[in-house]
Chains A and B, each alone.
Chain A
Amino acid sequence: MVDAPVNLPNYRYVSRKRRTKEDRRFVSGRGKYVADVDVPGMKHLAVLASPHPRANIIRIDTSAAEALPGVHYVLTGDELAGATNSLFHGLDLPNIKWYPLAVGMTRYAGEWVAAVVADSRYIAEDAAELIDVEYESLPAAVDSEKMIDEDQPLVHPDHGSNVLFRKTWQWGPVDEDFAAMSNTITYRARWGRSSTVPIETFGVVAKWDDINEILDVWASIQMPQYQDQIAAALHLPMNNVRVHNDVDVGGSYGVKRGIKHTVLVSYLTMKLGFPVRFIEDRLDNMSGGDAHGPDRIFDMTMAFDDDGVIKSMKVRALDDVGAYPGRAPLQLGKPITALCGPYRVNSIEYEAISVTSNKTGQVPVRGFGQSPTNFAIETGIDRVAKFLGIDRIEIRARNLVRKDEFPWKIPPGSRYDSGDFHLVLKKALQASNWDDLIARRNALRAAGRLAGVGVATCLEPGGGNNIFEYLFNPKLQITTFVESILIKVEPTGAITAVMCTTTSGQGHETLVSTIAGEELERDPDTIRVLHGDSLEALPTRSPVASRMAIILGTATSNAARDIKAKMITIAAFDLGVEKDQIEYADGEFSVRGEPSRKLDWTEICHIAHKQFHRMPPGHELGLQSYAVQQVPGGGDLPDENNEVSLYPCFSFQAHVPLVEIDPSTGKVKVHDYFIAHDCGTAINPDIVRGMIIGGVAHGIGAALYEKFEYDADGQLLAGTFVDYLLPSAHEIPPVTDIEHCTPSPMTSLGQKGSGEGGYLGAPAAIASAVNDALAPLDIEINELPIRARDIEAAIYEKTKAN
């Protein structure tokens, strides 16, 4: 359901129901995923993983594996570490080395110890089993809370501590605000180690061409600075690395980083002289790949008055990033962007603690830490309501930023660009038939069931400039996260756009063709969109941070508008009038007031490419333009108070689910789910709706089912889809999505981000609903996932106590 405001421009293609450009090849079975890439002469890699969470590697005997027919090479960590540079960390951690294969010590169960290259994956796996490794098993560091103050085995002895980062910031008068408030509540909210778990595992094929000195890489990738990091690890100039961005990526939602896999196969292709491919199997992926997400303990305090107006917050977030930090600790940084949610909070204290442990390394996950933070905030809003006996909706209404207050600056410095939070919340309540929903809940309760309604109002920051990195590592003075587009118009008038990165389901070809078509008044179906490889392409920072509609979309508008301006210049010259006399509509450039004096689209293209004698003197030949787009709103480093304006655009979502719990088993059924959502101008409504509903499903998984569980010794207990539970069509209810549009003033057509979608609020909303259901029993569970067994155990404990 799209609820468009009356004052939006009357777009031809934007915001219209239109089929996507990409889906046709996917429904035909004609996508080109990495496992479909067939490079002649390609050999296959399998890894041997450590069974120990923490162990010294005493000896590795590869002779039996090497002797197996069909095996070409067996690689171990010492050789690889000797030939490559340590992989990149976001924090400044000079004493934590990270290589694709373990060196001297294994630091999590599942860490790769050796790699085999063979004629087939089958033979490579056989050979991996023949590698004989002698380990000295050691006690592991597992409990993240103990990493700070207690003696624990050191994951990285050279670093000297299991704490990677710890810092406290205060923005605004926190102490005064706390002193002025009559009430405070303190609570803990815990986010379990879950992730995005795409159905396609990570895969990569690399081929070294020693004559041309080019490393070709095809990968299932979604990662900023991928080619930079490949080149750095392998001591190669960046222009010797060619990443093929036209590989379709079978889902990612943040996690498909793959740098260690890529360095591994790249080293081997350079050494062995033939292409090498590594496609993870599911266990490789879940135990040793880029699979795990944030694992966080929030200790929160809110200070508020008797009316429930929240003045100040203290947030302490402890995040367990596992054995190798990579970029993961920075996921504590992004939430600074919207650290108080959509609420009018006057001051905030934030303590961010990142610890390492003997678990699989954490990687970026959809929202880059924002969804756990939103869950922690929303838990508090519900608790303030409960504390004061005020309705949860009313508490939100009293604290939400009002529509006449934008742009609204929050204490850490972000400026919320636009929105109408109260109206969007109202639309969610209307869609849910709120009074009726409460009546249904009460009827279920009257029938002896446990039932609850949830509420969550959350933000999705979009378009990150990534300056939060500086707060965590002053060496990272990154103040832009560019995205680029090249658009060219052929002599015949056909339009081709070259984008510069991969796509993992977000529909970028549709995004670019729709916006270019809108700007140029040409049918988007006729516009071809390519994914340029990394050597051909303009600068990119990849499709992360809910940024492509914002940055790539604005780039596309700007390049297209430039092309239109050039065409007007050519038309004016040829028709002998000033530029401002030319009107453009429907592919025709005519003289204002004299519609018969005109040139059509293809004539101008023909002139630009082939008729120098009709071109304005000095004008560029051909018809092309490119845009390398800065993040809207600029990019300054934090000021002396650590205040910094981070993401430019803020989408808003209000969630209302109804759940029922079977009191005997603790099983939760989500009956209905209503969401009202505002991401400004939706470029393609079906794509936005899909990402919202898909994000809700992902959030239901994080709230109720999904966890990379470890035992006390550090063994991963969820390495398959039998143990790591993904919601099916049974668990996900019909979702009613109401789209509202407050155009962003920051972007070309008012668009904001939507890729992180419903995931940024659904976990909070489901937790709210479950706790509403458990409230009659005086039970509250603030640890995700809330599994059936957790509820059943809590009910049992409560009953026993009574």
Chain B
Amino acid sequence: MKQVEITLNVNGRDRKVAVLPRMTLVDCLRDILRLTGTHVGCEHGICGACSVFLDGEPIRSCLMFAVQAEGHRVTTVEGLLKDDGSLSDLQDSFWECHALQCGYCTPGMLVASQALLDEIPDPTEDDIREAISGNLCRCTGYQQIVEAVQMTAKRRREGAAHG
């Protein structure tokens, strides 16, 4: 099989990579670009551990070929960090609320939660549960994740009020 050269924008940088047409986006991110924050859980689109942003929309990178991402913007968990490398408010709230245990689903949960907050800055608990319902977690029972998203929204409201 012949490799194909593609360019995709990952976390703000254009990256040129040679991939087999059948290589999934998640394998490209992890094995070629060594962005190992995105995880592989089920490889059939159920667990959500591999969630990344594609042009600002959360998608499953196990269900997409890398070549399909040519010319698109991909944001991974590493790209959620602030420019100075510090934690985003959402990441910090996950830490504060202990919204994780083993951490394996966490990158996907952060992507799903960030996507929600981008759309609905002040989500209800039902909104949050709906937003993360496509991401499976076996450690937490989801509650501390819900609380972390609520905390982020609250911090943003308070920040906006003070700012």
- Once the chains bind, are B101 and A694 in contact (CB under 8 Å)? yes
Q: Indicate with 1 or 0, residue by residue over A1-36, a CB within 8 angstroms of chain B CB atoms.
A: 000000000000000000110111111111101011
- Once the chains bind, are A27 and B49 in contact (CB under 8 Å)? no
Q: A282-B42, A721-B46 are in contact. Are A24 and B102 (CB under 8 A)?
A: no
- Once the chains bind, are A24 and B47 in contact (CB under 8 Å)? no
- Once the chains bind, are B104 and A251 in contact (CB under 8 Å)? yes
Q: A23-B98, A122-B23 are in contact. Are A33 and B142 (CB under 8 A)?
A: no
- Once the chains bind, are B41 and A199 in contact (CB under 8 Å)? yes
Interface residues of A in 672-730 (CB under 8 A from B): 686-687, 689-691, 693-698, 720-722, 726, 728-730
Most buried by A among B43, B97, B137: B137
Interface residues of B in 15-60 (CB under 8 A from A): 20, 22-23, 30, 34-44, 46-47, 49
In-complex Cβ contact of A690 among B81, B96, B136, B144 (8 A): B144
Chain B: CB-nearest residue to A762: B141
CB distance from A382 to the nearest CB of B (A): 24
Q: Which of chain B's residues have a CB closer than 8 A to the CB of A279?
A: 40
Chain A: CB-nearest residue to B110: A27
- Once the chains bind, are A697 and B142 in contact (CB under 8 Å)? yes
Q: For the complex, is A534 an interface residue (Cβ under 8 Å from B)?
A: no
Q: A693-B141, A697-B140, A698-B138 are in contact. Are A281 and B43 (CB under 8 A)?
A: yes
A253–B134 Cα distance when bound, in Å, is 22
- Once the chains bind, are A728 and B87 in contact (CB under 8 Å)? no
- Once the chains bind, are B144 and A248 in contact (CB under 8 Å)? no
- Once the chains bind, are A734 and B101 in contact (CB under 8 Å)? no
Q: What does DSSP make chain A's interface, helix, strand, loop or mixed? A: loop
A residues contacting the other copy or chain, number (CB 8 A): 58
Q: For the complex, is B61 an interface residue (Cβ under 8 Å from A)?
A: no
A31–B101 Cα distance when bound, in Å, is 12
Q: Which of chain B's residues have a CB closer than 8 A to the CB of A728?
A: 132-136, 142
CB distance from A756 to the nearest CB of B (A): 13
- Once the chains bind, are B87 and A28 in contact (CB under 8 Å)? yes
- Once the chains bind, are A735 and B103 in contact (CB under 8 Å)? no
CB distance from B155 to the nearest CB of A (A): 15
- Once the chains bind, are A735 and B41 in contact (CB under 8 Å)? no
Chain A: CB-nearest residue to B141: A697
Q: What does DSSP make chain B's interface, helix, strand, loop or mixed? A: loop
- Once the chains bind, are B139 and A27 in contact (CB under 8 Å)? no
A687–B103 Cα distance when bound, in Å, is 13
A579–B133 Cα distance when bound, in Å, is 60
Chain B: CB-nearest residue to A725: B46
Q: For the complex, is B100 an interface residue (Cβ under 8 Å from A)?
A: yes
- Once the chains bind, are B81 and A28 in contact (CB under 8 Å)? yes
List the one stretch of A163-171, A501-509, A568-576 in contact with chain B.
Answer: A501-509
- Once the chains bind, are B103 and A505 in contact (CB under 8 Å)? yes
Q: A26-B106, A735-B143 are in contact. Are A282 and B44 (CB under 8 A)?
A: yes
CB distance from A149 to the nearest CB of B (A): 38
A687–B136 Cα distance when bound, in Å, is 19
A395–B133 Cα distance when bound, in Å, is 39
Q: Which of chain B's residues have a CB closer than 8 A to the CB of A693?
A: 140-141, 143-144
A250–B136 Cα distance when bound, in Å, is 13
A35–B132 Cα distance when bound, in Å, is 24
Most buried by B among A282, A690, A697, A720: A690
Chain A: CB-nearest residue to B38: A29
CB distance from B131 to the nearest CB of A (A): 8
Most buried by A among B30, B80, B136: B136
Q: Indicate with 1 or 0, residue by residue over A491-506, a CB within 8 angstroms of chain B CB atoms.
A: 0000000000000111
Q: Which of chain B's residues have a CB closer than 8 A to the CB of A20?
A: 95, 98
Q: For the complex, is A80 an interface residue (Cβ under 8 Å from B)?
A: no
Q: For the complex, is B122 an interface residue (Cβ under 8 Å from A)?
A: no
In-complex Cβ contact of B39 among A28, A200, A691 (8 A): A200
In-complex Cβ contact of B103 among A23, A252, A698 (8 A): A23
A696–B91 Cα distance when bound, in Å, is 25
Q: For the complex, is B69 an interface residue (Cβ under 8 Å from A)?
A: no
Q: For the complex, is B129 an interface residue (Cβ under 8 Å from A)?
A: yes
Q: For the complex, is A79 an interface residue (Cβ under 8 Å from B)?
A: no
- Once the chains bind, are A690 and B133 in contact (CB under 8 Å)? no
Chain B: CB-nearest residue to A196: B138
Most buried by B among A20, A25, A28, A252: A28
In-complex Cβ contact of A250 among B95, B103, B142 (8 A): B103
- Once the chains bind, are B36 and A35 in contact (CB under 8 Å)? yes
Q: A28-B91, A35-B30, A251-B102 are in contact. Are A729 and B44 (CB under 8 A)?
A: no
- Once the chains bind, are B98 and A33 in contact (CB under 8 Å)? no
A29–B33 Cα distance when bound, in Å, is 14
In-complex Cβ contact of B44 among A35, A200, A690, A722 (8 A): A722
Between A and B, 11 residue pairs with Cβ closer than 8 Å are A27-B103, A27-B106, A28-B81, A29-B36, A35-B36, A248-B103, A250-B39, A281-B43, A690-B139, A691-B101, A728-B133
